[in-house]
Structure 1
Amino acid sequence: MSNEPTLTLGTVEDGASVVLDSTCLLVFVDETGDELFSDPQHPVFGLGGCAVLVGDYVNFVRPAWRKMKDQHFDGADSTLHASELGSPSKEQLNALSQFFALKRFARLAAIASGRSVLPNDYSPYQIVSRAFLARVERIALRFSFSRIVLLVESSERANVLAERHVGPYNKADVEYFGRTVHVPIDHYFVPKTMNEPGIEVADFVMHAVGGQVRSECSGLAPGFRKDFTAVFRDVPRELVEYMNIQEVAIHDA
């Protein structure tokens, strides 16, 4: 009998569970802003999160997040969302920084803002989702995996868009820098009520991304925010795939 760890997750698809083996590459996905850029003060939209092998997630990332919540927040089983922190203590901020210093998972994101020059024939969600999937392709090169599974936090609005623009992705071969290979890529929607650590980590990743781009757009605070630095800049470059979309041009074949 194998001692390799597996992961069992409940999904919103008919309440079913999915069992993932240790060599599966998990990509926990969250978003920031909204795809219509409807907030005139902070018009941004991004998709991203974290990528980690099941073995590392079960043995390191998940328990580290739960331990951090148990010691510094409201308990291991509590809900922790970046936007609801309010005024975190210095101790809590240090605990979060120490967690994101873990080198067991990658961080990835793609984001656009109201300043991005986008083609009229494509929605911001189409552009950002394709840029995000390209980040998945690139980050996957740094792992040895059997399949890729995107785990998306479920919401009534986001599920429809993800099914339309991310769902078909698993039906196509993946081009790795000019080399086309078949990689099994699936996606599942994870209920918010599960308080799954990977989904919460993705939430903090995207909160940092959204805050950084909003800050850049406002021009009021030059440089990098502390949370963005902790998530993306204080770790080895090979653990990061990030794109702030400035302009997209579509060329006819």
Structure 2
Amino acid sequence: MKEEFNENIKEFETLLQKMASEIASGAVYEKLPPQELLNKTEAYITRLNNLTEKNEELMLTLKPEKAPTIKAMCKRLKQTLANFKEILLQNTADPLANSRLAFEQLRKVLTDGSDMLFLMREIRDNPSPLIDAILNFKRASEAKAQVVSIQAKEDVEPLLKYVLNRIDHFRAVLIDLEKKVGEMKQIMRELQEESLKILANKKLAKKDNTEDKTERKQLSLSNFNQTNQKEREQNVNG
């Protein structure tokens, strides 16, 4: 895989250099008719697009943690390549205007391609440690038995160290997570207890208020009855 990727990088770089050379020499320029401009560049454009798709898969395998960057950069370059051809294939009243627009996209191909080349070299030289260890182990296992015996120990060691380090890291994260879960449970229990206390106090206050109102009503009724009784007695005596 790494060998294939390295060969793809070399070919990709060569294509960019040839395109840049033809633009610099004037062999390809913006005043060419659309069809002629397409004829001179189509092979480069098609091959660059194919290499971009292949290299995207290889880069995602070698450096999965950079997936967002890889996908975004590959998408941008493929879109620029597609725009170039699409503009040249459009039928318009001013074909040379199409050539000028397409030529701008061609220059952008060189810029985006250079960015892609930089990313590919970076991933080639610094792949994910775990992936690199696995590939080295795979390569060693495909060699002769005697070589495997020697290389396997050397190639497996960094893999085992990496795996053990990750296990220790995950264990620490798990312990911390369990601690936080315990704290959250305690907070939930305290909130539940406080809520129950508040509800109980509200019910008690409501009950007391109801009893107080009932008592006041009873007193008012008693006073009313006593007043009526006195008035009746006064009327009789009068």
- The answer to whether the superposition gives a TM-score over 0.5 is no
Query: Larger relative contact order (C-alpha < 8 A, sep ≥ 6)?
Result: 1
Structure showing greater radius of gyration is: 2
| TM-score range for the pair, normalised by the shorter chain length | under 0.3
TM (norm. structure 1) is 0.20
Point out the structure with the larger strand share. 1
